[in-house]
Structure 1
Amino acid sequence: MLQNAFNRYINNFRGFSREIWILTFITFINRAGTMVLPFLSKYLHEDLHFSLSQVGTIMVFFGAGSMVGSWLGGKLSDTIGFYKIMIFSLFSSGILFILLQFMTSFIGLCIGMFVIMVISDMFRPAMFVSIGAYSKPENRTKALTLVRLAINLGFAAGPALGGLVIMLIGYKALFWIDGFTCIIAILIFWLKVKEKKKSTYADKENPGDVLTGSVFKDKIYWIFLLSTLLVGIMFFQLFNTIQIYHKHQFGLTEFQTGLLLTFNGVLVFFIEMPLVNYIERKQINKVKVITLGAFLMAISLYLLLFNTWAGILLIMMLFMTFAEMFSFPFSNGFAMSRAPKHQQGRYIAIFTMTYSFAQILSPKIGFTIVEKYGYQTNWIFMGSLGITAALLGYWVYNLVQKEKQTVKNQ
Structure 2
Amino acid sequence: MSAASLRRAVRESVGGLPREFWWLWTSTLVNRLGAFVATFMALYLTLERGYSASFAGLVAALHGLGGVISSLVAGVMTDRLGRRPTMLAAQASTAVSVALLGFMQHPAAIAAVALLVGMASNASRPAVQAMMADIVRPEDRVRAFALNYWAINLGFAVSAAVAGFVAEYSYLAGFLGEAVLTLVCAVLVFVKLPESRPERTGRAAAAEPETRLGTVLRDGRFMGVVGLSFLISLVFTQGSVGLPVAMGSAGFTPGDYGLVIAVNGFLIVALQIPVTRFIEHRDPQRLLVLSALLAGYGFGLTAFAGSIGVYALTVCVWTLAEIINSPTQMSLVVRLSPVHGRGRYQGVYTLSWAVASLVAPLMAGYVIDRFGAGWLWGATAVLGTVAAAGYWALMRGLPAGDAHAVAKGTSTAAADREDLAAGTESRTGV
Q: TM-score range by the shorter chain?
A: 0.7 to 0.9
Of 239-248 and 325-334, deviating more is: 239-248
Amino acid at match of 2:115: F
Please tell me whether residue 121 in structure 1 is matched to residue 122 in structure 2. yes
Q: 1:188 to 1:342 in 2, by over 3 A?
A: closer
Contact 1:62 1:359 in 2 (8 A): no
For 1:355 and 1:76, locate their aligned partners in 2 and report how far apart those are by CA, in whole Å: 19
SS of equivalent residue, structure 1 residue 238: coil
For 1:207 and 1:296, locate their aligned partners in 2 and report how far apart those are by CA, in whole Å: 42
Identity %: 23
Of 143-152 and 171-180, deviating more is: 171-180
Deviation at 1:93, TM superposition (A): 0.7
SS of equivalent residue, structure 2 residue 163: helix
SS of equivalent residue, structure 2 residue 395: helix
Q: 1:163 to 1:183 in 2, by over 3 A?
A: same
Which residue is 1:305 aligned to?
303
Amino acid at match of 2:220: K
Which residue is 1:144 aligned to?
145
Deviation at 1:14, TM superposition (A): 0.3
Matched residues, number: 396
SS of equivalent residue, structure 2 residue 396: helix
Contact 1:97 1:175 in 2 (8 A): yes
Of 309-318 and 36-45, deviating more is: 36-45
For 1:379 and 1:219, locate their aligned partners in 2 and report how far apart those are by CA, in whole Å: 30
Deviation at 1:53, TM superposition (A): 5.1
Deviation at 1:125, TM superposition (A): 0.7
Amino acid at match of 1:203: R
Contact 1:76 1:85 in 2 (8 A): yes
Which residue is 2:186 aligned to?
186
Please tell me whether residue 25 in structure 1 is matched to residue 23 in structure 2. no
Deviations 1:133-180 (A, max 9, x none): 4334443332222221211211222223334444x4365443233222
For 1:285 and 1:211, locate their aligned partners in 2 and report how far apart those are by CA, in whole Å: 29
For 2:330 and 2:77, locate their aligned partners in 1 and report how far apart those are by CA, in whole Å: 20
Deviation at 1:331, TM superposition (A): 0.8
Amino acid at match of 2:136: S
Deviation at 1:399, TM superposition (A): 5.8
Deviations 1:20-63 (A, max 9, x none): 11111121121122133134345445555655555444333222
Contact 2:78 2:127 in 1 (8 A): yes
Q: 1:86 to 1:344 in 2, by over 3 A?
A: closer
Q: 1:46 to 1:365 in 2, by over 3 A?
A: farther
Which residue is 2:392 aligned to?
394
Of 139-148 and 363-372, deviating more is: 363-372
For 1:48 and 1:375, locate their aligned partners in 2 and report how far apart those are by CA, in whole Å: 31
Which residue is 1:267 aligned to?
267
Of 379-388 and 81-90, deviating more is: 379-388
Amino acid at match of 1:387: T
Deviations 1:68-105 (A, max 9, x none): 11212111122222112212211221222222234465
Q: 1:243 to 1:99 in 2, by over 3 A?
A: farther
TM-score, length of structure 1 as denominator length: 0.85
For 2:40 and 2:389, locate their aligned partners in 1 and report how far apart those are by CA, in whole Å: 32
1:92-103 alignment runs, 5 A limit: 92-103=93-104
Q: 1:136 to 1:308 in 2, by over 3 A?
A: closer
For 2:367 and 2:10, locate their aligned partners in 1 and report how far apart those are by CA, in whole Å: 45
Deviations 1:324-383 (A, max 9, x none): 111111111111112245333332221111111111212222233344444444333333
Please tell me whether residue 10 in structure 1 is matched to residue 7 in structure 2. no
1:274-289 alignment runs, 5 A limit: 274-281=274-281, 284-289=282-287
SS of equivalent residue, structure 2 residue 197: coil
Please tell me whether residue 366 in structure 1 is matched to residue 364 in structure 2. yes
Which residue is 1:195 aligned to?
194
CA RMSD of superposed structures (Å) = 3.0
Structure 1: gaps of 5 or more residues: none
For 1:124 and 1:390, locate their aligned partners in 2 and report how far apart those are by CA, in whole Å: 26
Q: 1:343 to 1:85 in 2, by over 3 A?
A: closer
Which residue is 1:335 aligned to?
333
Q: 1:112 to 1:307 in 2, by over 3 A?
A: farther
Q: 1:2 to 1:220 in 2, by over 3 A?
A: same
SS of equivalent residue, structure 1 residue 398: coil
Which residue is 1:296 aligned to?
294
Amino acid at match of 1:268: I
Please tell me whether residue 134 in structure 1 is matched to residue 163 in structure 2. no
